[in-house]
Amino acid sequence: MWQALIRVLFIGFLTLTAITPAWAQGTVARAQFATDVIDREPLEEIGPIVNVKYGEIQRVYFFTDLRDFAGSQVVHRWKLDGNIQAEIAFDIGGNRWRVWSSKRLLPGFDGKWTVDIVADGSVVESHSFDYVDNY
C-alpha cells in the first residue's frame, strides 16, 4: 500500500516538474535603467525621474542579469503610458545571462516609461521611470 502511494506521489511530482514553465524557475538577479552598458555592466543608474532639456535626445538603457532562464526567450517590452513602443527579444543561452536594450527618447516622449521583463509569454517583473521634457 505504501509503495503504491509513494509511486503515485513520485509520478505526480515528475509530471508537475515536466509541465512547470521554464520562466517559473528563473530569477531576475538585477534590473536597472542606466546611461550606458559597457563590458556587459550598466553605468550610472538612472533614478525614477529622467529630466531632459527641450530639444535634447536621451538614450536610456535597460539592463537585466538573469539566472536560470537557459533555453527560454526573454523580452524587454518598452511601454509609454501603457502603450507598447518596442519589444526586444533575447534567446537565453546559459544559466547566467546579461542582456540589455535601449530606447532613444525624443522630445514629446514624456510620460511614464515601463519595461516589462517577459519570459516565455509571462511578465516576470516591471520597472518604470518618468520622462520629463523641460520646456
Q: Which residue has the higher pLDDT, 1 or 53?
A: 53
* Cβ atoms of residues 120 and 97 within 8 Å: no
Q: How confident is the model at residue 19 (pLDDT cuts 50, 70, 90)?
A: very low
| Beta strand 41-45 pairing with 49-53 | unpaired
Position 6 scores a pLDDT of 54
Position 48 scores a pLDDT of 92
Please give the Cα distance from 87 to 76 (Å, whole number): 6
Q: Which residue has the higher pLDDT, 83 or 120?
A: 83
User: What average pLDDT score do residues 31-60 get?
Assistant: 88
Q: Which residue has the higher pLDDT, 49 or 65?
A: 65
pLDDT at 23 over 90: no
Task: Give burial (CB, 10 Å; 0-12/13-18/19+) of 101.
Answer: buried
Using alpha carbons, list the distances in angstroms from residue 70 to 24, 29, 62, 66.
12, 14, 20, 9
- Strands across the sheet containing 73-80: 49-53, 122-134, 111-119, 73-80, 83-91
Q: At CA 70, angle to CA 65 and CA 72, rounded to 5? A: 95
pLDDT more than 70, % of the chain: 80
Strands (E), the chain: 27-38, 41-45, 49-53, 58-67, 73-80, 83-91, 96-105, 111-119, 122-134
* pTM for the predicted model, two decimal places: 0.79
What is the average pLDDT score of the chain?
85
98: Cβ contacts below 8 Å, ≥ 6 apart:
40, 41, 63, 64, 65, 66
User: What average pLDDT score do residues 48-69 get?
Assistant: 88
Q: Tell me the per-residue pLDDT of 63-119, one tens digit each, with 9 for 90 and over.
A: 999 999 999 999 999 999 999 999 999 999 999 999 999 999 887 888 999 999 999
pLDDT at 16 over 80: no
